[in-house]
Structure 1
Amino acid sequence: APLPAEGLVPGGASLVGGAWHLRGVEAELAFRLGTDLPPRALPYTRDEVAGAIAEVLLVIEVAETRLIDWLDASPSALLADLLCHGGLVLGEPAPFERSWLDLAQTEVVMHFDAQVVAHTVGEHTHPDVGALLVWLANEGAARGQGLRAGQVVTTGSCTGMLFASQGTAVRAEVKGLAPLHARF
């Protein structure tokens, strides 16, 4: 689901108040596009998509909902709720390298305060995120939207969803990227 620009927050953010009640968090890798991938008839290749990526960054997706009974909500209601996509905490970007398109060996650690709550290696549900990005570029092109330079594309959870308590400091770490912090 798309996330409105106001849902992008910088690392170190404090997410407090009534809007942050579910506090589901997932550590993910994301990619910022450096060039457009506009609509076209010819499908995009992996090389073309990789060539359009400028940066890789660690992100923390924050799951939130405006639905009272989100676990039993209809697919249409969940889609209207942006699939519980409440916010995206953005880490410091690093220059993109093609090796980031394969997460099979990527080690991710998530802390709540001083406690390690997730430590995974290659636990992404679809470690070949390059294939996911090619699919997204081609799906966007087929729908007449395309992808635009500056957009941040997330790739899915490397840790599974964990629920933070109010007052928790969350830290995510991936080798080769700056650690990312947020507080509830």
Structure 2
Amino acid sequence: MDKPSAVNGLAEIYLNARHRGELLQGIPAAFEPQDEAQAYAVQDAVARILTTGSGPVRGWKVGAATPEAIPFCAPIHAATILEDGARVDARLCRHFGVEAELAYRFARDLPRGDKPYDENTVLEAIGSIHAAIEIFDTRFDKPHSQSRLAHMADQGNHGAMIVGEGVADWHRFIPSTAAKMTLTINGTVTHRKIGGNSAGDTRRLLTWLANHAAERGLPIKAGDTVISGSTMGTAFVRQDSEVVVEFEGLPPVHATVQVASV
């Protein structure tokens, strides 16, 4: 099967799973992404359709397996970007994995230019830094059950993000590896860490993303929010839960997660 057909075929599978509320056990071998470019092409095909019901792309998630590894990313639509105190409806996701992340809200556009953005230019475009909760979700019946590229193509396993009140002086959080985080679920502290992001410091991620997004025709815009990778792995919740993420020096972010009964 040629690459365009495989891209469109997998995008249709993911979109049908979303619209029907179904969970996939796998995908046909012919549709399996062969490289990151193909996985991103599936993301773009899905994003074009989701824009109709979920609003435009107004954010990104970005991460990396190690401080030296090439980053990876996925676009995030307006409908899944929620503010502090949000109630995450059970109908929004099929899996509910809680992750504590630092989020950056941009104050200036970063359109495609004649040369790549350098780190200073990207950082100067940031307006504020926030504590955030990402809800890990997947269209598959079991998290982490498929290849890395299949999950990347599935919008990077994104379900929702909840963004706390921002602080303009993001410089105080350089390097991000020194940030102290606490995750509380239903009144119990479940995670307490310093750093913890597998990608290391987030400055490299943000610079890479600004250039990558512009090249894909989805450049970062003023008001867009970027989450920069989990600082504690993923904590799956199996019941309705009150979740609080705190980073020292930032206002905490709260969410009520409603979990569908199985």
Q: What is the TM-score normalised by the length of structure 2?
A: 0.65
Alpha-carbon separation, structure 2, partners of 1:165 and 1:24? 9
2:121 corresponds to 1:48? yes
Task: Compare the two structures and name the one with the higher strand fraction.
Answer: 1
Map 1:34-183; keep pairs closer than 5 Å: 34-75=107-148, 77-183=150-256
Instruction: Work out the CA distance in 2 between the residues paired with 1:80 and 1:46.
Output: 27
Share of identical aligned residues, percent? 33
Q: Distance in 2 between matches of 1:13 and 1:28?
A: 16
Which structure has the highest helix share of the two? 2
Amino acid across the alignment from 2:100: A
Structure 2 CA distance for aligned equivalents of residues 22 and 28 of structure 1: 18
Q: How does the TM-score come out when normalised to structure 1?
A: 0.91
Of 19-28 and 155-164, more deviation after overlay is shown by: 19-28
1:86-143 Cα deviation digits (max 9, x unpaired): 0001111111432334212110000111211110012111232111111111222333
* Per-residue CA distance 1:61-80 (angstroms, 9 max, x = gap): 00122322443234554244
How far the C-alpha of 1:173 sits from its partner, in A, is 0.6
Question: Within 2, Cα distance between the matches of 1:104 and 1:15?
Answer: 28
Code of the aligned partner of 1:152: T
**Is 1:67–1:81's contact at 8 Å kept on the other side of the alignment?**
no
Cα gap change, 1:45/1:116 in structure 2, threshold over 3 Å: closer, same or farther?
same
RMSD over equivalenced CA pairs, Å: 1.8
Deviations 1:26-80 (A, max 9, x none): 0100111100111012121211111100011111000122322443234554244
**Structure showing greater relative contact order (alpha-carbon pairs closer than 8 Å, 6 or more residues apart):** 1
Contact 1:35–1:52 (CA under 8 A) maintained in structure 2: yes
Specify every segment of 5 or more residues in structure 1 that has no aligned partner in the other structure, as ranges: none
Amino acid at match of 2:250: L
